[in-house]
Structure 1
Amino acid sequence: MNDPIRGTARGSAPAPLSVLDTALAGRGVSAADALSGSIALAELAERRGFTRYWVTEHHSMPGVSSSSPAVLLARLTAHTTRLRLGAGGVMLPNHPPLIVAEQYGLLQALAPDRIDLGLGRAPGTNQATAAALRRGRSDDDFPQQVVELLRFLDDDFPEEHPYRERVYAVPGPGQDKENGLPQTTGRPSVWLLGSSGYSAQLAARLGLPFAFAAHFSPDHVAGALRLYRDRFTPSAVLTEPYALASFAVMAADDEHEALRQTRSYAHSMMRMLHGKSYLVPTADEAASYPYTASEQLVLDRWTNTVLHGTPDRVTVHLDRLHEAARPDEIMIASVGHTPQALLRSTELIADAYTLPSTPVPVSAR
């Protein structure tokens, strides 16, 4: 059985490596093409020995297609056999905890001991879309939502609780009990996600693994991981802290192409921060755009958050960041305009770290 948390494969990398995917749909790329790219990326991650593949949850963003991680992950269970699959993550205030428990219990039944459930409290979208999703719910009770979700996954509401023996997350341990079976699968590995100290402290208090979104906030990763480790309380699922950090990367065969792809991504972030839709232009469109002074500042800032260049240069940056923050695992989020560019970036990094290439079992093809 795979360890539900700790990664093992690392090659010459400083820590186990994993992949974060957004199902990119840049200008001129259809959702079908983006999702085919995600399938190819997950297959590559399994073939090259990455520890896990996570998909994000975003809404109202033309540049991404991952509005429903659970649906995409269900498809990927048929294309992989060893790779851990998960949400990075489910934006819990967007969903009733029972629905999330049932979706990821179903995934766990499809792919036992391979499912990760990362939980975040951000909307994953703009405020207008968040209002449409949440219908008055807020993220103020996020800790209570997490606890309720864990109780659904474990079927362990206290005696006096109205859900006790009346509400079950199916599939799950309550279903097994009612059907006269021992528990047939474990629960998904639950993680907390964040880009600040808030979720770091909550993960520490609950004794859960923690994933820090350094692709959004690279300057704060070391402090957040230190806070998580300093305040960690052992739990039934984790006796000592375990943290990963995700970094935005773009490796290409030459520096110029890496910069062109990176600026396509940076342009999309610039658009979003100026109140426009998250749309990833082609590299040529980004290069020819007439930036104002303020737009150029935002473009440069987001370009600099991406570790871009030749694979050797990207891995040197990853090694330095690992040395500074000491995450137990590194997750790479390749960014750019096309699924092909993201796939090539991931493969180049695997090559640079000499990750082995192993055959994919026939059952996963």
Structure 2
Amino acid sequence: MRGRAGGTASVPLSVLDLTTVGSGYTASDAIRTGVKLARLAESRGFHRYWVAEHHSMPSVASTAPAVILAHLAAHTDRIRLGSGGVMLPNHAPLVIAEQFGTLEAMAPGRIDLGLGRAPGTDGATAAALRRTDRLSEGADDFPQQLAELIRFLDDDFPDGHPYSRIHAVPGPLQGTTPGGVQSPHRPPVWLLGSSGFSARLAGTLGLPFAFAHHFSAANTIPALELYRGSFRPSAVLDEPYALIGVSALAADTEKEAYRQVLAGAMTMLRLRTGRPPGLIPTPEEAEATPLSPIEKEFVDSWLANVEYGTADAVREGLNGLAARTGADELMLTSNAHSPSARLRSYELVADAYGLPGATAG
């Protein structure tokens, strides 16, 4: 990506949208903001736009990634869209194959299927989602669930398998049916993780890997080393491809950037300390909240792994992170209170890198 305003982005830049809901806003507002952000990302040269599955959190409206992606597909033309991710143990593999086959039919060649192993919520909610209290079973069976899902996507269960006569539609079946035409596309599968399990599995299977640096920064380099060390070339990839999710927010001033990311940090503090999560507070509410020494330590530690400040500062931080980790792609998420702050952040980052449509000369 050769730039006009700030040089070159050493790796592709992408967007992770958590469909966040701030105090005073609704889920409808968050989804409308997602459409605006996806269009902005497409026009400004970001590589892909993912949404993530979370549950039972008032501040996050992305409980149904496939539904949101269908909406985004109807409002964009070129940018890749995907899940970062769908939590596989929460769903039957056939259901995911059908949902993403449908998305692929809506936006051919633009859909990514990123899969996670965690529930994306607390244990009680996960039990309600899965209709079982045996939560460890889903995580332990993840490799088998993944293999089943890929079989459904490829429609290649062997003869004699209990599912050999079951087909995910839309999918390859339509191309092997008399008069049918095979679609040239099938959603590529990514594995997501915040520890070593999915890193090793992605490497062993030769799949692309996305690491959640934005909430597990200490594990980033070990996980990427494990992924690369265990990588085996496959029909999908000849060599490893690692994306990392990064919390980043640019504003016109460093002070304003801090106010916005502080609101996001306060949301994480509530989540990590078992309080009712609530909506993302306003910057004023966040600044006015008293913190104990331990709470302040948590907030400072959290913000230490967020790239925030002016656009130039964020660009320098992102470039440094890419260099330290050797990541092949950076996916930016902005956990701010207001839609306007989030949209402004991506505009500023695009300007700093001189992505298409930059306003700076």
Name the TM-score class by shorter chain.
over 0.9
Which whole-Å deviations, capped at 9, do the CAs of 1:233-274 have from their partners, x for residues lacking one? 111111211111111011100011100111100000000011
Whether the aligned pair in 1 keeps the contact of 2:174 and 2:181 (CA below 8 Å) is no
Deviation, 1:312, is: 0.6
Deviation, 1:230, is: 1.5
Pairing of 1:7-18 with structure 2 (within 5 A) = 9=1, 11=3, 12-18=8-14
Pairing of 1:91-110 with structure 2 (within 5 A) = 91-110=87-106
In the alignment, the residues of structure 1 paired with residue 97 and residue 238 of structure 2 have an alpha-carbon distance, to the nearest angstrom, of 23
Deviation, 1:10, is: 6.2
Q: Which residue identity does 2:43 align to in structure 1?
A: R
* RMSD across aligned positions (CA): 1.3
In the alignment, the residues of structure 2 paired with residue 96 and residue 233 of structure 1 have an alpha-carbon distance, to the nearest angstrom, of 27
Whether the aligned pair in 2 keeps the contact of 1:10 and 1:16 (CA below 8 Å) is no
Query: Structure 1 stretches of 5 or more lacking a match?
Result: 1-8, 359-365
1:343 aligns with 2:346: no
**2:354 matched to which residue of 1?**
354
**2:214 matched to which residue of 1?**
215
In the alignment, the residues of structure 1 paired with residue 311 and residue 243 of structure 2 have an alpha-carbon distance, to the nearest angstrom, of 21
Query: Structure 2 stretches of 5 or more lacking a match?
Result: none
Q: TM-score, normalised by structure 1?
A: 0.93
Q: How many residues align structurally?
A: 349
**1:361 matched to which residue of 2?**
none
Deviation, 1:180, is: 3.5
Deviation, 1:182, is: 3.4
Q: Among residues 44, 60, 64, which one is paired with 1:64 in the alignment?
A: 60
**1:191 matched to which residue of 2?**
190
Q: Which residue identity does 2:81 align to in structure 1?
A: L
Corresponding residue SS for 1:77? helix
Report which stretch shifted further, 68-77 or 287-296.
Answer: 287-296
1:314 aligns with 2:314: yes
1:250 aligns with 2:249: yes
1:260 aligns with 2:256: no
Corresponding residue SS for 1:175? helix
**2:84 matched to which residue of 1?**
88
**1:40 matched to which residue of 2?**
36
Deviation, 1:220, is: 2.2
Pairing of 1:261-280 with structure 2 (within 5 A) = 261-279=260-278, 280=280
Deviation, 1:179, is: 4.8
Alignment CA distance shift 1:56-1:10 (3 Å): farther
In the alignment, the residues of structure 1 paired with residue 241 and residue 276 of structure 2 have an alpha-carbon distance, to the nearest angstrom, of 35
Q: Which residue identity does 2:295 align to in structure 1?
A: E
Q: Which residue identity does 2:267 align to in structure 1?
A: S
Deviation, 1:277, is: 3.2
Q: Which residue identity does 2:354 align to in structure 1?
A: T
1:31 aligns with 2:31: no
In the alignment, the residues of structure 2 paired with residue 207 and residue 199 of structure 1 have an alpha-carbon distance, to the nearest angstrom, of 12
Whether the aligned pair in 1 keeps the contact of 2:248 and 2:307 (CA below 8 Å) is yes
Q: TM-score, normalised by structure 2?
A: 0.94
**2:285 matched to which residue of 1?**
285
In the alignment, the residues of structure 2 paired with residue 298 and residue 126 of structure 1 have an alpha-carbon distance, to the nearest angstrom, of 20
Report which stretch shifted further, 192-201 or 131-140.
Answer: 131-140
Which whole-Å deviations, capped at 9, do the CAs of 1:107-165 have from their partners, x for residues lacking one? 0011111000000011111121111112225211011111100000000011120111x
In the alignment, the residues of structure 2 paired with residue 94 and residue 339 of structure 1 have an alpha-carbon distance, to the nearest angstrom, of 29
In the alignment, the residues of structure 1 paired with residue 204 and residue 51 of structure 2 have an alpha-carbon distance, to the nearest angstrom, of 25
Corresponding residue SS for 2:330? strand
Corresponding residue SS for 2:74? coil
Which whole-Å deviations, capped at 9, do the CAs of 1:38-77 have from their partners, x for residues lacking one? 0000000000011100001111111111111100110111
**2:294 matched to which residue of 1?**
294
